[in-house]
Structure 1
């Protein structure tokens, strides 16, 4: 597994990571060893052309998990559009039997799952880090979201 790194651009440094889960259309079992290998190779080619870096790719017969790192100028929506469109086109081109399994339609479902991933910890750890950044440790919280009570 590749490890995340700080991405240095002209005016910012970032370490933005996302976990995407993309189901195959109709939740069909379309991933085989050959399709898995093609998917991996396609993703590594995407890395060369876009600011999208694959930290991990995993398949589970009918869906794929992508752990990716990108830059602030690309939203998660832009990342997933690039990822889904290129991988679908190339898998159909390289594996016509998959297109047949999906009745000549789309490769991915329309939806997906996305979650941010932290390099240095979870929400509580980051919150503690922010509180302790004051010059004399006099942090004052101006707002803290609370879970809403139903009744």
Structure 2
């Protein structure tokens, strides 16, 4: 296992994040997912978050990422959800046909540590999302 480090610590912090569309509306296509991914990467840099794997289904996304010990994950997730909601609804007006209020994402989120599960197993699970 490869460990990350900074001046004062050595760590391996991998997380699996699931974000669901408000009301589980079926609005995510490949273009919307790709734009959401770009925003995740861009904002993630400011929070020392590195994307490992990304995939989507029509009503939710799965993200595998790694981060530093000092990263405030809830602040990052809320900032991401807020910014991406605003930008996605602006850039993809067809979203408004299914989500007419201000929200894009559900208020909740699922954040899991990869714990004892090998990252490759989680990565494979995320890669296979949306394939039925």
TM-score range, shorter chain: 0.7 to 0.9
| Larger RCO (CA under 8 A, 6+ residues apart) | 2
Normalising by structure 1, we get a TM-score of: 0.68
Higher Rg: 1
| Mapped pair 1:96 → 2:79 | no
Residue matched to 1:31: 28
RMSD of aligned alpha carbons: 2.0
Contact 1:99 1:105 in 2 (8 A): no
Equivalent of 2:109, from 86, 108, 112?
112
Q: How many residue pairs were aligned?
A: 117
Residue matched to 1:52: 49
| Mapped pair 1:63 → 2:60 | yes
Contact 1:20 1:67 in 2 (8 A): yes
- In 2, Cα distance between the equivalents of 1:55 and 1:42? 14
* Structure 1 residue 70 displacement after superposition: 0.9
Task: Give the ranges of 4+ consecutive aligned residues of structure 1 lying more than 6 Å apart after TM superposition.
Answer: none
Q: Secondary structure at the match of 2:19?
A: strand
Q: Secondary structure at the match of 2:63?
A: strand
Larger helix percent: 2
**Could you list the per-position Cα deviations for residues 2-40 of structure 1 after superposition, in whole angstroms to 9, with x for gaps in the alignment?**
xx9533222112210111111100100110121122112
Q: Secondary structure at the match of 2:36?
A: helix
Normalising by structure 2, we get a TM-score of: 0.76
* Structure 1 residue 67 displacement after superposition: 0.8
| Gaps in structure 1 of 5+ consecutive residues | 123-151
